[in-house]
Structure 1
Amino acid sequence: MDQAEDEVYCIGCGAKIQTTDKNQLGYTPQSALDKGLEKGEVYCQRCFRLRHYNDIAPVSLTDDDFLRLLSQIRDDDALIVYVVDMFDFNGSMIPGIHRFVGDNPVLLVGNKEDIFPKSLKRNKMKEWLKQQANLQGIRPLDVLLTSAKNLDEIEILLNTIEKYRKNRNAYVVGVTNVGKSTLINQIIRLNNGTQDLITTSRFPGTTLDKIEIPFEDGKMLIDTPGIVHEDQMAHVLTGKDLKYVSPQKTIKPSTFQLDDQQTLFFGGLGRFDYISGHGAVITYFENNLMIHRTKLSNAENFYTKHVGELLTPPDKEGLEKLPELQRHEFHLDEKSDVVIEGLGWITVPGHSTIAIWAPRGISTVVRRPLV
């Protein structure tokens, strides 16, 4: 490419376009570049395939590259818009976030609010988010719940950013898979009618460089690359199984009347053992994830016999990628939510002893119930 073309960037991920090394960021064939320049829409090959075929390719951007980009935030006087996934809160926390923020103010945004049933109290969810952020060393100016699918809520988000940024840049930060790029796409659409400027998918790690959107005062809304958080459920599944753990519609809770020594399987991805106690447990998972009940004494054999077939996801192919399930035991004095991060949760009565099984490396958390 000549000098002018050296300045061309992929509108999907922000990587600089190059036509020489197909294994490096920003590669696109010369013929595709020529067509893209004619249309005014240049994508790297990776984003083109992701956009049209939902096909993800590995890239060479390292954790150090991500951290180097984020470290610039600390040195700027800016508002930090910190986006987390309400459905996978712990899995969407940026490790060491307080180090990147510095003294900058933080607006905490809980995304994917639309998948939660209306019975869940929003003020309670906000307060819980705030408490969890405090544990991470972050004291947000405000907490906002939003949905990238709702343009009215995007307008509220924009107005809230404007309220707090005070003529400064605003950096949007988050780990991969929290819906950050979808939020940015909606902001762009709201402002100038351009749809899907930034490549989005259910796959982790699809925005690779900063993307800047100007405010009227000349400052920028800056979309930073998603930090790869290896403890997300998305990292242990194949692409076609991700739809079972990434709800796209409002979750419909299911109630199971259980006695002690009974087990629930959540596909082949998780397991709940009611060791002692009894009563109704309520499950909150993606609506298409099959839940199977069996006796605790039969659970081990049931899993070994049926995982990858009756107990799916994963299918046989995905089973090779899935880490073994690990057991975590809890005694609950009070009614609690027991969470498998990135998969869902079970609301359990108090005075219960339970075990929760999750793929190795995936967090399990007990919290006060959201209902």
Structure 2
Amino acid sequence: MTDDEIKKELLDGIFCVGCGAQIQTNAKNELGYTPMSALKKGLETDEVYCQRCFRLRHYNEIQPVSLTDDDFRRLLGQIADTKALIVYVVDIFDFTGSLIPGLHRFVGDNPVLLVGNKADVMPKSLKRTKLTNWMRQQANINGIRPIDVTLVSAKKGHSVADLMSKIDNYRQNRDVYVVGVTNVGKSTLINAIINSQTGIHNLITTSRFPGTTLDKIEIPFNDGAKLIDTPGIIHQDQMAHYLGAKELKYVSPQKEVKPIVYQLNEQQTLFMGGLARFDFIQGDKSSFVLYFENNLMLHRTKLEKADTFYLKHAGTLLVPPTSEAMEQFPELQRHEFRTREKSDVVINGLGWITVPANVTIAGWAPKGVSVIIRTAMI
């Protein structure tokens, strides 16, 4: 193609197949930029990627984007005016951090199919029917009434065919919008769907970094309707936003999580590397079950020494973060709870600790990261 023909294509609109941003060749630091030489090659193969997606896919480098939270919500806000099936993807391991506040405002009267991704990292001892029932209850508590709940592993392709059968059953020739917060695996799931239908691998850009998809990406069904991948809503209270690439591997389980049980007396503290902390303040000696990435370092000490211990060892004995990353890492903030029943203390984007009834405990996380208490999942 000549340069003039390519410029005409740009005016008509060429979009990155990786993130959905409109391709442009003029502003290097803006969304959708790609050099003209790379654009020519992409047009020859019908796979045009912006420079950001190219570097992310081949070098695992992330470039900052200029979209704001309001931009993401504005894009999702268009869904309420359509007639569609909403596929709401959550990360089961980070269920609380996966919830979209006010989702009903985005979806209107459209039916919602709740999909729990990353089922492969959950302990095999947890019965899947109990898990889906728990997910439905938690969704109801948050004002969401799903027509169905299903579990998948997008990374491994588990149950993707079952999900597609449910989508075909519920969509009734309508478009399908896939929604979720960043890092729940939406794009990985859509890649698995595309692969199951066409054999094409990894068409859409995916990574552990939040906010990979920047605009709507549309994949056509045979009947003329579309499967639409939407940008992830960014939750600034998730741990991933405070970590670099080296630390992210300690908060995103890639294998089945192995629970660890600690018998604690009151006035004892557990550190999760240098990322978080748990204090058993008051109560009888009890078992506490920890669900975190298997390689995350755990350390027990006395509560009275915990503050001094953290100041001395964060970034060295207590890692991640590394000593260099600690310079930019927020201070830990304390959240105290008193339990009435068996509960989970959840640190958004990191994991949770199952605690018994009638204890006083405190969870510590970087300032800005949510720590909440919920009905025990397991």
TM-score clears 0.5: yes
**Gap regions ≥5 residues in structure 2:** 1-5
- 1: CA distance between counterparts of 2:275 and 2:33? 36
Match of 1:203 in 2: 209
- 2: CA distance between counterparts of 1:152 and 1:267? 32
| 1:182 matches 2:193 | no
TM-superposed CA distance for 1:347, in Å, is 1.6
- 2: CA distance between counterparts of 1:340 and 1:208? 27
**Which of 2, 5, 8 is residue 7 of structure 2 equivalent to?**
2
TM-score (norm 2): 0.94
Matches within 5 A, 1:138-217: 138-217=144-223
Q: Determine if contact 1:278/1:352 at 8 Å carries over to the other structure.
A: no
- The C-alpha deviation readout for 1:40-91, integer Å capped at 9, x for no partner, is 3221110011001111001122333322221221111111111111111222
- The C-alpha deviation readout for 1:247-268, integer Å capped at 9, x for no partner, is 1111011111211111110001
Match of 1:357 in 2: 364
| 1:332 matches 2:339 | yes
Report the 3-state secondary structure (helix = DSSP H, G, I; strand = E; otherwise coil) of the residue aligned with 2:159: helix
TM-superposed CA distance for 1:3, in Å, is 0.6
- 2: CA distance between counterparts of 1:96 and 1:236? 24
Match of 1:291 in 2: 298
Q: Which moved more, 1:315-324 or 1:72-81?
A: 315-324
TM-superposed CA distance for 1:204, in Å, is 0.4
- 2: CA distance between counterparts of 1:131 and 1:157? 20
**Gap regions ≥5 residues in structure 1:** none
Aligned residues: 371
TM-superposed CA distance for 1:152, in Å, is 4.1
Q: Which moved more, 1:184-193 or 1:359-368?
A: 359-368
Match of 2:28 in 1: 22
- 2: CA distance between counterparts of 1:251 and 1:308? 24
Match of 2:321 in 1: 314
Match of 2:253 in 1: 247
Q: Which moved more, 1:311-320 or 1:45-54?
A: 311-320
Q: Determine if contact 1:238/1:321 at 8 Å carries over to the other structure.
A: no
RMSD of the alignment, in Å? Answer: 1.4
| 1:368 matches 2:375 | yes
TM-superposed CA distance for 1:245, in Å, is 0.4
| 1:32 matches 2:38 | yes
In structure 1, give the amino acid aligned to 2:182: T
Match of 1:343 in 2: 350
**Which of 127, 133, 146 is residue 127 of structure 1 equivalent to?**
133
Report the 3-state secondary structure (helix = DSSP H, G, I; strand = E; otherwise coil) of the residue aligned with 1:3: helix
Match of 1:302 in 2: 309
In structure 1, give the amino acid aligned to 2:226: M
- 2: CA distance between counterparts of 1:113 and 1:99? 28
- The C-alpha deviation readout for 1:258-283, integer Å capped at 9, x for no partner, is 11111110001111111122122111
Match of 2:97 in 1: 91
- The C-alpha deviation readout for 1:96-152, integer Å capped at 9, x for no partner, is 211011111111111111111011232222222222222332211111121112334
Percent identity between matched residues is 66
Matches within 5 A, 1:51-66: 51-66=57-72
- 2: CA distance between counterparts of 1:98 and 1:317? 42
Q: Determine if contact 1:146/1:153 at 8 Å carries over to the other structure.
A: yes
TM-score (norm 1): 0.96
- 1: CA distance between counterparts of 2:163 and 2:19? 23
In structure 2, give the amino acid aligned to 1:16: Q
Runs of 4+ with >3 A deviation: none
Q: Determine if contact 2:152/2:158 at 8 Å carries over to the other structure.
A: no
**Which of 83, 103, 107 is residue 101 of structure 1 equivalent to?**
107
Q: Which moved more, 1:235-244 or 1:142-151?
A: 142-151
